[in-house]
């Protein structure tokens, strides 16, 4: 459980620090709306880190967020809109965090009797 806490807190802190300069970049309303969504994800990472066992199901969309970003970069690479270096740098951060989120999911076992009923 400590592993999951550390990973999600580091992810939230890293993401928050990465977003600060983006708010200083000129953009349109859509750009700032997407940044707001990213801020919400950073908050979600902090919340997961706060209670990883109880919020274990929320780790699945967190992994999906990282995987979709990497898939998006691969499409952009195929179109020639990003460089291989940019993809590798993102793989070293977002891709690694996605893998660590998966490890956290499997190491943060739910509390006994805390699984929601499907009925």
What DSSP string describes 84-116? HHHHHHHIIIIIHHHHHHHHHHHHSPPPTT-SP
For residue 114, pLDDT over 80 is answered with no
85 φ, ψ (degrees, to nearest 5): -65, -40
Give the pLDDT confidence of 45-59 residue by residue, as tens digits.
Answer: 999 999 999 999 999
Residue pLDDT, tens place only, 82-106 = 999 999 999 999 999 999 999 999 9
Whether the Cβ atoms of residue 12 and residue 40 lie closer than 8 Å to each other:
no
Whole-angstrom distance, CA of residue 88 vs CA of residue 73: 10
Q: State the chain's mean pLDDT as an integer.
A: 93
Q: Check whether 42 has a pLDDT greater than 60.
A: yes
Residue 4, classified by CB atoms within 10 Å of its CB into exposed (0-12), middle (13-18) or buried (19+), is buried
* pLDDT value of residue 112: 74
- The domain spans of the chain are 2-107
pLDDT band at 110 (very low <50, low <70, confident <90, very high): confident
pTM: 0.88
């Amino acid at each position: 459980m400590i592993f999951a806490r550390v990973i999600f807190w580091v992810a939230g802190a890293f993401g928050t620090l990465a977003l600060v300069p983006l708010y200083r970049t000129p953009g349109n309303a859509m750009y700032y709306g997407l940044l707001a969504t990213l801020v919400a994800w950073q908050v979600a990472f902090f919340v997961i880190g706060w209670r990883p066992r109880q919020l274990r199901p929320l780790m699945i969309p967190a992994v999906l967020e990282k995987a979709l970003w990497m898939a998006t970069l691969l499409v952009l690479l195929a179109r020639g809109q990003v460089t291989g270096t940019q993809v590798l740098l993102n793989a070293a951060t977002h891709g690694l965090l996605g893998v660590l989120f998966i490890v956290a999911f499997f190491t943060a076992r739910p509390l006994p009797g805390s699984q929601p009923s499907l009925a």
